[in-house]
Amino acid sequence: MVMKMSLGFVRLSAALVALSLPFPASGEEVAAVPGLAHTQLFAIGGIGEAGSMSDGERDLRTVLDQPNAAAVLREILSRATPVGQLYALLGLRLRDRAAYEQVLPALRKRSDMISTARGCILTKEEMANIIREIEHGDYDAAIAHPPW
Protein backbone atom coordinates (compact mmCIF):
# COMPACT_ATOMS: atom_id res chain seq x y z
CA MET A 1 0.00 0.00 0.00
CA VAL A 2 2.77 2.43 0.89
CA MET A 3 4.56 1.53 -2.34
CA LYS A 4 1.44 2.37 -4.41
CA MET A 5 1.13 5.74 -2.71
CA SER A 6 4.79 6.49 -3.34
CA LEU A 7 4.52 5.49 -6.98
CA GLY A 8 1.36 7.58 -7.36
CA PHE A 9 3.07 10.54 -5.75
CA VAL A 10 6.06 10.15 -8.09
CA ARG A 11 3.77 9.98 -11.13
CA LEU A 12 1.83 13.04 -9.97
CA SER A 13 5.06 14.95 -9.34
CA ALA A 14 6.41 14.01 -12.77
CA ALA A 15 3.18 15.10 -14.41
CA LEU A 16 3.25 18.46 -12.62
CA VAL A 17 6.86 19.05 -13.64
CA ALA A 18 6.05 18.15 -17.25
CA LEU A 19 3.14 20.58 -17.26
CA SER A 20 5.34 23.39 -15.99
CA LEU A 21 7.95 23.03 -18.74
CA PRO A 22 7.80 25.49 -21.62
CA PHE A 23 7.97 22.63 -24.10
CA PRO A 24 5.06 20.96 -25.88
CA ALA A 25 4.00 17.44 -24.95
CA SER A 26 3.35 15.26 -28.01
CA GLY A 27 6.14 13.57 -29.95
CA GLU A 28 5.68 15.75 -33.03
CA GLU A 29 5.58 18.91 -30.92
CA VAL A 30 8.68 17.96 -28.92
CA ALA A 31 10.55 17.11 -32.13
CA ALA A 32 9.74 20.56 -33.54
CA VAL A 33 11.67 22.33 -30.77
CA PRO A 34 15.15 20.94 -31.50
CA GLY A 35 14.38 20.96 -35.22
CA LEU A 36 13.64 24.66 -35.12
CA ALA A 37 16.58 25.41 -32.84
CA HIS A 38 19.08 23.66 -35.12
CA THR A 39 17.72 24.42 -38.58
CA GLN A 40 20.15 25.77 -41.16
CA LEU A 41 17.79 27.09 -43.87
CA PHE A 42 15.33 29.97 -43.60
CA ALA A 43 12.39 29.54 -45.94
CA ILE A 44 8.78 30.67 -45.61
CA GLY A 45 6.37 29.68 -48.36
CA GLY A 46 6.75 26.97 -50.96
CA ILE A 47 10.27 26.06 -51.99
CA GLY A 48 11.75 23.88 -54.68
CA GLU A 49 10.07 22.63 -57.83
CA ALA A 50 7.18 21.13 -55.89
CA GLY A 51 6.64 24.23 -53.75
CA SER A 52 7.12 22.20 -50.56
CA MET A 53 7.05 23.61 -47.06
CA SER A 54 10.49 23.82 -45.46
CA ASP A 55 11.20 21.83 -42.30
CA GLY A 56 11.81 25.09 -40.45
CA GLU A 57 8.42 26.50 -41.39
CA ARG A 58 6.72 23.21 -40.49
CA ASP A 59 8.44 23.21 -37.08
CA LEU A 60 7.53 26.87 -36.51
CA ARG A 61 3.89 26.16 -37.31
CA THR A 62 3.92 23.23 -34.86
CA VAL A 63 5.30 25.45 -32.10
CA LEU A 64 2.87 28.28 -32.92
CA ASP A 65 -0.05 25.87 -32.48
CA GLN A 66 0.88 25.30 -28.82
CA PRO A 67 -0.75 27.23 -25.99
CA ASN A 68 2.73 27.93 -24.56
CA ALA A 69 4.20 28.98 -27.92
CA ALA A 70 5.69 32.24 -26.64
CA ALA A 71 7.61 30.50 -23.85
CA VAL A 72 8.88 27.83 -26.24
CA LEU A 73 9.96 30.46 -28.76
CA ARG A 74 11.83 32.45 -26.10
CA GLU A 75 13.66 29.25 -25.09
CA ILE A 76 14.50 28.43 -28.72
CA LEU A 77 15.76 31.98 -29.28
CA SER A 78 18.20 31.64 -26.38
CA ARG A 79 19.96 28.55 -27.80
CA ALA A 80 19.24 28.36 -31.53
CA THR A 81 21.35 28.68 -34.62
CA PRO A 82 21.09 32.08 -36.30
CA VAL A 83 18.46 30.63 -38.65
CA GLY A 84 16.55 29.16 -35.70
CA GLN A 85 16.68 32.58 -34.06
CA LEU A 86 15.03 34.08 -37.15
CA TYR A 87 12.19 31.57 -36.97
CA ALA A 88 11.81 32.19 -33.23
CA LEU A 89 11.82 35.97 -33.82
CA LEU A 90 9.09 35.60 -36.44
CA GLY A 91 7.08 33.43 -34.06
CA LEU A 92 7.46 35.95 -31.24
CA ARG A 93 6.27 38.73 -33.55
CA LEU A 94 3.09 36.72 -34.04
CA ARG A 95 2.59 35.45 -30.46
CA ASP A 96 4.29 37.81 -27.98
CA ARG A 97 4.91 41.30 -29.32
CA ALA A 98 6.49 42.50 -26.04
CA ALA A 99 9.11 39.72 -26.08
CA TYR A 100 9.66 40.35 -29.79
CA GLU A 101 10.29 44.06 -29.17
CA GLN A 102 12.67 43.22 -26.33
CA VAL A 103 14.97 40.94 -28.39
CA LEU A 104 14.75 42.83 -31.69
CA PRO A 105 17.43 45.51 -31.03
CA ALA A 106 20.18 42.97 -30.33
CA LEU A 107 19.27 40.84 -33.33
CA ARG A 108 19.19 43.85 -35.67
CA LYS A 109 22.94 44.20 -35.17
CA ARG A 110 23.70 40.68 -36.43
CA SER A 111 25.51 40.35 -39.74
CA ASP A 112 25.58 36.55 -40.01
CA MET A 113 25.12 35.20 -43.51
CA ILE A 114 22.04 32.96 -43.60
CA SER A 115 21.11 30.25 -46.09
CA THR A 116 17.69 31.04 -47.51
CA ALA A 117 15.31 29.54 -50.03
CA ARG A 118 12.78 31.62 -51.94
CA GLY A 119 10.90 29.46 -54.38
CA CYS A 120 13.57 27.62 -56.37
CA ILE A 121 16.34 30.06 -55.47
CA LEU A 122 18.85 29.07 -52.79
CA THR A 123 21.14 31.86 -51.65
CA LYS A 124 22.92 33.44 -48.70
CA GLU A 125 21.55 36.65 -47.21
CA GLU A 126 22.59 38.87 -44.36
CA MET A 127 20.60 38.17 -41.21
CA ALA A 128 19.79 41.88 -40.80
CA ASN A 129 17.97 41.88 -44.16
CA ILE A 130 15.70 39.03 -43.10
CA ILE A 131 15.08 40.74 -39.76
CA ARG A 132 13.93 43.86 -41.63
CA GLU A 133 11.50 41.70 -43.61
CA ILE A 134 10.18 40.19 -40.39
CA GLU A 135 9.80 43.71 -38.93
CA HIS A 136 7.83 44.83 -41.99
CA GLY A 137 5.49 41.85 -41.64
CA ASP A 138 6.57 40.31 -44.94
CA TYR A 139 6.03 36.76 -43.61
CA ASP A 140 2.90 37.32 -41.51
CA ALA A 141 0.40 36.46 -44.24
CA ALA A 142 2.29 33.33 -45.30
CA ILE A 143 2.33 32.00 -41.73
CA ALA A 144 -1.29 33.00 -41.13
CA HIS A 145 -2.31 31.02 -44.23
CA PRO A 146 -3.22 27.42 -43.36
CA PRO A 147 -0.46 24.94 -44.20
CA TRP A 148 -0.83 23.05 -47.42
Fill in the DSSP letter of residue 67.
T
Pairing of strands 113-118, 121-126: antiparallel
CA–CA distances in Å: residue 30 to residues 9, 27, 71, 87, 99: 25, 5, 14, 16, 22
Position 53 in a domain: yes
Spatial distance between the Cα atoms of 146 and 80, rounded to a whole number of angstroms: 25
Enclosing domain of residue 134: 25-144
In a domain, 83, yes or no: yes
Question: Is the residue at 125 inside a domain?
Answer: yes
Split at pLDDT 50, 70, 90, the class of 148 is low
Residue 27: what pLDDT? 52
Is residue 19 a part of any domain in this protein? no
pLDDT of res. 22: 47
Q: Is residue 5 part of a domain?
A: no
pLDDT single digits (tens) 86-135: 999 999 999 999 999 999 999 999 999 999 999 999 999 999 999 999 99
Please check whether residue 94 lies inside any domain of the structure. yes
Backbone phi and psi for residue 141, each to the nearest 5 degrees, phi listed first: -65, -40
pLDDT in tens, 25-77: 455 555 678 889 999 999 999 999 999 999 999 999 999 999 999 999 999 99
Element (H, E) at 91: helix 82-95
In a domain, 114, yes or no: yes
Q: How many domains does the chain have?
A: 1
The predicted structure's pLDDT at residue 30: 57
Is 12 within the bounds of a domain? no
